[in-house]
Structure 1
Amino acid sequence: MKNKTWFYDAEDLKRTRKKALRFNNLEMKALNYYFEKYHVRNQSRFMRETIMRSILAKFDEDYPTLFDARPNLFTQTEKQTGE
């Protein structure tokens, strides 16, 4: 039986996908300085968590509210729906 909970499948949590990043010399120096200064042992984990933290913060920021001043992805005008 698959290890499954009500909100995720354990197989979906395995990290099997890759993304590559490229940095210029100054960015790389800054990263290496940070890693050395703060004793970052797992650089891959650090970058993954930093990127995901930024993405999730943006999602929270963009979350629609009941009183949005302007239409967003989740609201449609009559013109758009054809009604």
Structure 2
Amino acid sequence: MHEVDIEAVRMAMFAHSGVKAVDSPRLYQSATGIGLAATLTVAVPDVDQTNVRDTIATVLRERFGIDEVDLQFQDPGPIPHTLDISRGLIEKM
């Protein structure tokens, strides 16, 4: 197995906007080359997990030669109902 920078792989997995967090990425030797297993926390509960998986698999194959991707998905949890929307729009700087 050739050397792959796991932190670069982790950052590449944010290629899909539906990914909120990447936990425990682990490279392994697959039957056909390099595989990756990781747990993803999605940004919203109804994100299209198939689309997320396909996008990440394509990015990892093209950038790092990772040909097998095993992703577990976690729900982001409930949206807090304590948001004070009376303060107006909050924008990213």
Q: TM-score, normalised by structure 1?
A: 0.27
Structure number with the higher helix fraction is 1
Whose radius of gyration is greater, 1 or 2? 1
Q: TM-score, normalised by structure 2?
A: 0.25
Structure number with the higher strand fraction is 2
